[in-house]
């Protein structure tokens, strides 16, 4: 079975947590991404920020994984934000309308400020 090519590290800023994504977001990344979300949600985080600066690749299964993450975030009454998307992935977020549910920001500073 193929291995996940994703590492996801979590940083905490008060009630905001940032998940730094590095590598590929595909169906194989589910365990790593959901573990990072669990860690990010500790200490009653109200905002989860996804850092896509070091994203190498995302396919349709990865988009589906983000939808699953979005549902979990919404169930916990949290907000999901993102930054670091290339123009290509920003277009995909627009086509899939994920940009309507996930706040897209130009930088980490902007995402943290909301």
Q: CATH number of the domain at 94, please.
A: 3.30.750.24
Is 1 domain-assigned? no
Is there a contact between 80 and 51 (Cβ–Cβ < 8 Å)? no
Cβ neighbours of residue 75 under 8 Å, at least 6 residues apart? none
- Domain interval for residue 20: 6-113
Residue 2: per-residue pLDDT: 64
Residue 93: per-residue pLDDT: 96
- The total number of structural domains in the chain stands at 1
Q: What is the pTM of this model?
A: 0.95
* Edge-to-edge strand ranges of the sheet holding 6-13: 6-13, 16-25, 47-58, 79-83, 103-105
Encode the chain (114 residues) as per-residue pLDDT tens digits.
566 799 999 999 999 999 999 999 999 999 999 999 999 998 889 999 999 999 999 999 999 999 999 999 999 999 999 999 999 999 999 999 999 999 999 999 999 998
């Amino acid at each position: 079975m193929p291995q996940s090519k994703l590492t996801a590290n979590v940083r905490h800023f008060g009630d905001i947590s940032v998940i730094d994504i590095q590598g590929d977001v595909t169906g194989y990344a589910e365990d790593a991404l959901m573990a990072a979300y669990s860690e990010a949600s500790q200490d009653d985080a109200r905002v989860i920020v996804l850092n896509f600066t070091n994203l190498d690749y995302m396919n349709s299964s990865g988009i589906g994984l983000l939808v699953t993450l979005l549902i979990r975030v919404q169930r916990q009454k949290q907000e999901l934000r993102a930054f670091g998307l290339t123009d290509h992935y920003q277009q995909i977020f627009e086509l899939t309308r994920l940009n309507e549910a996930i706040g897209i920001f130009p930088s980490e500073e902007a995402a943290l400020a909301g």
